[in-house]
Amino acid sequence: MGRIRAMYDDPTGQKFGIPTFYWRGAPAGFATRRQLRATGLCPGGQDVAGQIKWRGIGGERTAYLYRIDLAKPKRTATPRVLAALDKALRARKTCGTCGQVKPYFIRTKFDECAECVEAAGGCYAA
């Protein structure tokens, strides 16, 4: 085991307070939030069960680990939530001057589509 790996190898948690493993050294049964999300799970309110530490850009990096057996299925959006999101995104694409729904998001700086800004003599790119 290399010097860096040995520095972060603390499976009992005596040095760091919680079980700590080196990069790619976590045992089976643990996963990060991103790994849980990829399998359709979420931590579900459980406390952090461990951590991975490594040296990265900007210094020491940490990723928290959760137990897979205590993870719960992630929530899915209800039809009403999806409808509200669709309405909000449609509002961001609607021009405040001509009222047309554009295929792009209207900049909040102008609250107008590119055609209306240019027709008024402005520059949309600014």
* Residues 66-77: tens digit of each pLDDT: 999 999 999 999
pLDDT beneath 70, residues of the chain: 1-4, 124-126
Contacts for 71 with CB less than 8 Å, ≥ 6 apart: 31, 36, 41, 42, 43, 44, 46
Contacts for 68 with CB less than 8 Å, ≥ 6 apart: 29, 30, 31, 36, 41
- Give the pLDDT confidence score for residue 124 in this predicted structure: 67
Could you tell me which of 11, 63, 71 has the C-alpha nearest to residue 38? 71
pLDDT in tens, 91-105: 999 998 899 999 999
Contacts for 43 with CB less than 8 Å, ≥ 6 apart: 33, 36, 66, 70, 71, 72
How far apart (Å, rounded) are the C-alpha atoms in residues 93 and 101? 5
